[in-house]
Amino acid sequence: MNELPLGPDVHRTSQAVSWPNGARCAVAITFDFDAETMWLSRDTSNARRPALISHGTYAAKIAIPEILALLQEFGIKATFFVPGWTAENHTARVEQILAAGHEVGHHGYLHFWPEPDKPAEEEKEITDGLEALHKLFGLKPLGYRCPAGETTDRLIPLLQKYGFIYDSSFMDDIHPYVHSVGGKSSGVVEIPWHWSIDDVPYTVYSLRGQRAIQTNDHILNIWETEFREHHARGALFDLIMHPQAIGRLSRLAMLRRFLAFLKGFPGVWFASCGEIAQHVLAQQNKGAKA
Ligand SMILES: [Zn+2]
């Protein structure tokens, strides 16, 4: 039998987490503030196609203020993953996010998808992103989310090397867990996600990759059922949105409906990804001492 080159976590058993103050489940409301990088990273000649990349400009111009107002209305602290390029080109918007008390995480520099055979390029995306966030805001992000769900087998050791305490790139669980490296705890918590609780597959349209734009009712049907089942299992519900997608006005109306739906459940801990990771690490340390 040919062995697939899978890491040690493949055989790890999924385990429910006990949440703070007797909460039944945890919710992380997250946004990937890609802005123009989603188009620039795939084809640098798109820099000369202004109407195309204006799709991303919308995120900074219109969506972020609308999203911040909505989060304030519900009293929710969210996590925004920001590429270094976005931080440099939409600095005032990131300052507004931070001033409102939300967490800012690392999302690469130009949103490049890492290539398994280009380790130097992969590490440079991490260091350039770190440098931008530090230079502009004096920020050392706690966590990382990979662009477009793409990673390599070097990711967790790299996050360890640069002192991150969490990652949010893997889709193998409904509970958070701590990655292992070389058979030992890496100290990097995974905040798992999935495309079904991401806005992009339902909402982003391009002439090159045509697909139907879905109705709000269709999306809410999936998100609400996903949440109900996560809540029943005491899991972590990691909702991923993109300002250029969820920031369209009808989608913001959908998000308002969805946040009201979440608030209707008992025992929900709304937390930033950093707070969730710190909680999981504290539980792990308590278990190690017991
Ligand atoms: Zn992204």
Note the pLDDT of residue 289: 74
User: pLDDT-based confidence at 213, cuts 50/70/90?
Assistant: confident
**Mean pLDDT calculated for residue range 14-19:** 94
Has residue 56 been placed in a domain?
A: yes
Over the stretch 44-81, which tens digit does the pLDDT of each residue have? 888 888 888 898 999 999 999 999 999 999 999 999 99
Q: What is the CATH number of the domain that holds 88?
A: 3.20.20.370
Distance 82 CA to ligand 1 centre (A): 8
Residue 7 lies inside a defined structural domain of this protein: no
Tell me the CA–centroid distance for residue 260 and ligand 1, in Å.
26
pLDDT (average), residues 82-95: 98
Strand pairing report for 143-144 and 184-190? unpaired
User: For residue range 217-247, what is the model confidence (pLDDT) as tens digits?
Assistant: 999 999 999 999 999 999 999 999 999 999 9
User: How much distance in Å is there from the Cα of 57 to the middle of ligand 1?
Assistant: 14
Query: What number is the average pLDDT over the span 140-160?
Result: 93
Residue 53 within a domain: yes
Residue 154 burial (CB count, 10 A): 15
Residue 2, pLDDT > 70, answer no
Burial of 153 (0-12, 13-18, 19+ CB in 10 A): exposed
pLDDT score recorded for residue 285: 85
Quick check: is 13 in a domain? no
pLDDT given for residue 3 in this prediction: 57
- 158-190: per-residue pLDDT in tens? 999 999 999 999 999 999 999 998 888 999 999
Does position 4 have pLDDT exceeding 60, yes or no? no
Q: Which domain holds residue 264?
A: 18-289
Task: Assess contact for 94 and 104: CB atoms under 8 A.
Answer: yes
**Which pLDDT does position 44 carry in this prediction?**
84
> Looking at the domain assignment, is residue 89 inside a domain?
yes
Q: What pLDDT score does 171 carry?
A: 94
CA dist., res. 136 & res. 129, Å (int): 11
What is the whole-number distance in angstroms between the Cα of residue 110 and the centre of ligand 1? 9
Are 61 and 255 within 8 A, CB to CB? no
Distance 242 CA to ligand 1 centre (A): 8
- Give the model's confidence band at 266: pLDDT under 50 very low, under 70 low, under 90 confident, else very high: very high
Q: Is 6 inside a domain boundary?
A: no
* Beta carbons of 11 and 86 less than 8 angstroms apart: no
Q: Looking at per-residue confidence, does 184 or 265 come out higher?
A: 265
Specify if 281 maps to a domain: yes
Q: How far is the CA of 32 from the centre of ligand 1 (A)?
A: 5
Phi, psi of 118 (to 5 degrees): -125, 70
CA of 22 to the centre of ligand 1 (A): 33
Predicted local confidence at residue 224, as pLDDT: 98
249 falls within a domain: yes
3-state helix, strand, coil in the chain (%, to 5): 50, 15, 35
| Residue 107 alpha carbon to ligand 1 centre in Å | 7
How many structural domains does the chain have? 1
CA 269–ligand 1 middle distance (angstroms): 25
